[in-house]
Amino acid sequence: MSSKMVEFTVNGKKLLAFEGLNLLKYLLDNGYNIPHYCYHDSLGADGNCRMCMVEIKGKKRPQIACDTLIKEGLEVNTNTPTIKRLREEILQMQLRNHPVDCPVCDKAGECYLQNYYMDYGLYKEGKHKKQKIKKSKNIEFGRNVVYDEERCILCKRCVRFFANITKTNELGVIKRANHSTISTAPNQKLQSQYAMNIVDLCPVGALLSSDFKFKQRVWFLQSSPSICHGCTKNCNITIDYSSTKFQAERIYRYKARRNEDVNGYFICDEGRLSYKEYHTNRVTQIEYKNSIIDFKEAISKIGIEIFIHKDIVILASPNLYIEELESIIKWSKKLNARLYSPLECYKDKEFADNWLKEELRVANAYGVMALEIDTSTPDISSDTLLINFDHKLAQDINTLHRIDFITHSINSQGLILPLASWVQSSRHLINSSGIKQYAPKTLVANKPILTVTEWIEAIGGDI
Which residues sit at the interface with another protein, rule CB under 8 A?
A: 101-104, 137-138, 213-215, 217, 219-220, 244-246
> Shortest gap between Cβ of 253 and another protein (angstroms)?
15
Nearest-angstrom CA–CA distance, 298 and 288? 8
Strand-pair partners of 405: 389, 417
Which CB sits closer to another protein, 250 or 309? 250
Q: How many Cβ atoms from other residues are within 10 Å of residue 79's Cβ?
A: 13
Q: 100 or 286: whose CB is closer to another protein?
A: 100
Q: How far is the CB of 246 from another protein (least distance, A)?
A: 4
Q: Quote the least distance from Cβ 80 to another protein, whole Å.
A: 19
* Residue number with CB closer to another protein (219 or 307): 219
Query: In Å, what is the CA distance from 164 to each residue of 44, 167, 370, 433?
Result: 10, 5, 36, 24
- Cross-strand bridge partners of residue 209: 145
- Contacts by residues 108-114 (CB-CB < 8 Å, ≥ 24 positions apart): 108/205, 108/217, 108/218, 109/217, 109/218, 109/219, 110/218, 111/203, 111/204, 111/205, 112/35, 112/37, 112/203, 112/204, 113/153, 113/203, 113/204
Residue 137 or 436: which CB sits closer to another protein? Answer: 137
Q: b or e along 330-355 (b: 16 or more beta carbons within 10 Å of the residue's beta carbon)?
A: ebbeebebbbbbbbeebeeeebeeee
Q: How far is the CB of 409 from another protein (least distance, A)?
A: 26
Q: What number of other Cβ atoms are within 10 A of residue 381's Cβ?
A: 8
Residues 425 and 442 sit within 8 Å (Cβ to Cβ):
no
Q: Which is nearer to another protein, 98 or 401 (CB)?
A: 98
Which of residues 18 and 220 has its CB atom nearest to another protein in the complex? 220
| CB of residue 147 to another protein, shortest distance in Å | 13
Give 220 or 438: the residue with its C-beta nearer to another protein. 220
CB of 221 to another protein, least distance (A): 12
We find the least distance from the C-beta atom of residue 389 to another protein, in angstroms, to be 37
Report whether 391 contacts 317 (CB < 8 A).
Answer: yes
